[in-house]
Structure 1
Amino acid sequence: MQQAEARTQPQTTGPQNTWPQNAWYVACTSAELAVGEGAKPLGRQICGERVVFYRDGEGRVAALEDFCPHRGAPLSLGFVRDGHLVCGYHGLVMGCEGRTVSMPEQRVDRFPTIRRFPTIERYGFVWIWPGDPERADPAKLHHLPWAESPDWAYGGGLYHIQCDYRLMVDNLMDLTHETYVHAGSIGQKEIDEAPVETLVEGEEVITRRFMEGVSAPPFWRMGLRGAGLPEDSVVDRWQICRFNLPSHVMIEVGVALTGQGGYAADRSVKASSIVVDFITPETETSHWYFWGMARNFAADDAALTDTIREGQGKIFSEDLEMLERQQQNLLRHPDRRLLKLNIDAGGVRSRMLIDKAIREEQGA
């Protein structure tokens, strides 16, 4: 068992603004934006900004401030016509660049322009840049090699969670909680017993844990079956959590038949995946959580994808209740000081990167 040194730390540290602005965040999935005449736009709050998303006549994504320049109504309550967004209040027609196109029986040439947000549609997601549009560099978009390979399958979902997005980062960068929160699916006592290592490589924080000669928990017994391996096998298991700005966590997870090389074992003797976590702030105490799993075994098995998605959804719903209740406690006791142990190093290092990015934006 690890020896943990307890230190008291303030509950919140760093700049007052809690998220970087000049970064690409997942705003929605491509499937959430309907195509065609009469399609309904999508309204969503991202990093404190209320934004309306829709597709123009060419199917391209547009993202505008969710504010009609006429009377301030939400444009997300309107509809799409001829590739333009029509306000559902008085029929004002808005172009993709944020300029009013027309309005029944009215002159609109002097209507104020509303804000337009840079977007990229890639990997099945729509990404938004909430900061300075002049700095919106597509090259800074998080690269997902698995999303470009036919050898991988992906399935996922979305949760709207009422807590500070950084609490989810903490949660994902310290998987010790699996033993307790997810005891019936992915948790096992060996997680507590295995040493955890945290390191920083450039702008990436890595927390990793390896377990040798263990029994596979229920979720990974299913994974072994899906990979065509005996589900009751003794396995070596790994968890490698990778945090990248602004708030993405990719977790390499898997099991291999014991003694075959563990994480480095041949694909024929293991079931491995990447837990995909895109955490997009909504407000100071809420966020959008785009979760999923990419796997490189049985990639053409759609039924297995659905089964994994269902199982993963149940696992993450258990996190949801814990995190929302944690947030309520923190709001109720804002002056309490929280303990930091060595198992919290991944979350602490991740927050340090977030705070550094914010300070740089503010010119501090």
Structure 2
Amino acid sequence: MYPKNAWYVAATPNEIDEKPLGRTICGEKIAFFRGPEGVVAAVENFCPHRGAPLSLGYVSEGKLVCGYHGLHMGCNGKTVSMPGQRVQGFPAVRSYPVEERYGFIWVWPGDAALADKATIPHQEWYDHPEWAFGGGLFHIACDYRLMIDNLMDLTHETYVHSTSIGQKEIDETPSKTTVDGTTVTTARYMDNVTPPPFWKLALRGNNLADDVPVDRWQICRFTPPSNVIIEVGVAHRGHGGYDAPNEFKAYSKVIDFITPETETSIHYFWGMARKFNPTDKALTATIREGQGKIFSEDLEMLELQQKNLLAYPDRKLLMLNIDSGGVQARKIIDRMLAEEQTAATAKA
């Protein structure tokens, strides 16, 4: 149901700074920890001695120590030692390609021989003086593709987020979906509208008037396996809209890294990178709080949607033109799954 030969965000660096972290990624139970010199490592969350979760242990001198009987595990999944025992002949548990980059821990749950760190998607906003970022993590009980559908069709904002980012012009303005290779883009441009409450706050955050007409844009980009980056913003009317100079607009990117846990649950890493007033930490905190409330509204809808789909597995869902972004994204995912199945069959 989910491609495994791909890079997924597994954690934020602070989650493994003090102790190991156990997390299921694409059905793989993985223990993350910091090995020698603090370099992140990932191994199967299974002690070869008695099957205890290695993530319940601790790290000592770059080794992952099982919290059950003290077995010492290396970053390569090979047992190093155990007090009073000869264990060097233990079979290795699986290790996973893992990389710390752009403020996240990325893992490759599939064939390690295919992992290429150069394919981790570049994040231009990370550690850049013109940008500020604030985000969080939600665990959501839904199929990861439902979240992709949600983010590629923002007409739901009018209803689910009516008090923050929703407005009737989202429904009234048609969007356009295009496909370029494995990138799906759904774009909507709304001219001469009143900014909703969240964007009034953002305008004030950039020292701009919030009581004047604006041009607003939403440009949703899906890239596999399950990443959606959304360019969003508003600009004072008459200054070029999306292309307006920074002094006339509030421009941001909504960051959505959707990592399958199981077939019906996800780790959802969300955030907003903004390109205005980046040194204002209070503004970062305020926007983060606002985004958290908005995404919490999605959480309830998606979890109940998933329950409905499980309760009525034979019901066919209807597709409209507003669903085109999600439909095209699913086609790309299906191709990836088919390619992995073909490769697996060839190896068998």
Q: How does the TM-score come out when normalised to structure 1?
A: 0.93
One-letter amino acid of the counterpart of residue 98, structure 2: T
Larger displacement relative to structure 2 (134-143 or 172-181): 134-143
State the match for 2:333 in structure 1.
354
Q: 1:87-113: per-residue Cα shift (whole Å, max 9, x none)?
A: 011111111111111111111121110
2:15 match = 32
Which of 52, 57, 60 aligns to 1:78? It is 57
Q: Given the alignment of the two structures, is residue 44 of structure 1 paired with residue 23 of structure 2, yes or no? A: yes
Extract unaligned runs of 5+ from structure 1: 1-17
Q: Shift in Å at residue 148 of structure 1?
A: 4.3
- 1:180-191 alignment to 2 at 5 Å? 180-191=159-170
After superposition, residues 288-299 of structure 1 pair within 5 angstroms as: 288-299=267-278
Q: Which amino acid aligns with 2:261?
A: E
2:91 is aligned to 112
1:173: which partner in 2?
Answer: 152
The separation in 2 between residues aligned to 1:68 and 1:138, in whole angstroms, is 28
Runs of 4+ in 1 over 3 A off after TM superposition: none
- Shift, 1:57, TM fit: 3.0
Shift of 1:19: 1.0
**What letter is aligned with 2:288?**
R
Determine helix, strand or coil for the equivalent of 2:247: helix
Give the number of equivalent residue pairs.
343
Equivalent residue for 1:245?
224
Paired position in structure 2 for 1:209: 188
Indicate the SS of the match to 1:134: helix
**Any idea what SS the aligned residue of 2:29 has?**
strand
Q: Provide the C-alpha distance between the structure 1 equivalents of 2:156 and 2:291, rounded to a whole number of angstroms.
A: 16
Q: Distance between the aligned counterparts of 2:220 and 2:207, measured in 1?
A: 26
d(CA) in 2 for partners of 1:119, 1:95: 14
Could you tell me which residue of structure 1 aligns to residue 248 of structure 2? Answer: 269
Written as runs of structure 1 = structure 2, the 5 A alignment for 1:61-140 is 61-140=40-119
Identity %: 66
Residue deviations 1:229-261 (CA, integer Å, cap 9, x gap): 001121000000000001000000000001211
Residue 173 of structure 2 is matched in structure 1 by 194
Task: Tell me the secondary structure at the aligned position of residue 125 of structure 2.
Answer: helix
Distance (Å, rounded) in 2 between the aligned partners of 1:163 and 1:145: 29
Amino acid at match of 2:41: A
Runs of 5+ consecutive residues of structure 2 not aligned to the other structure: 344-348
Letter in 2 for 1:22: N
Residues 1:21 and 2:4 are matched in the alignment = yes
- What amino acid is the match of 2:48? P
User: Deviations for 1:55-112, whole angstroms, at most 9, x for unmatched residues?
Assistant: 0130000100000000000001101111111101111111111111111111112111
Residue identity in the other structure for 2:8: Y
Which is worse superposed, 142-151 or 111-120? 142-151
Structure scoring higher RCO (CA < 8 A, sep ≥ 6) equals 1
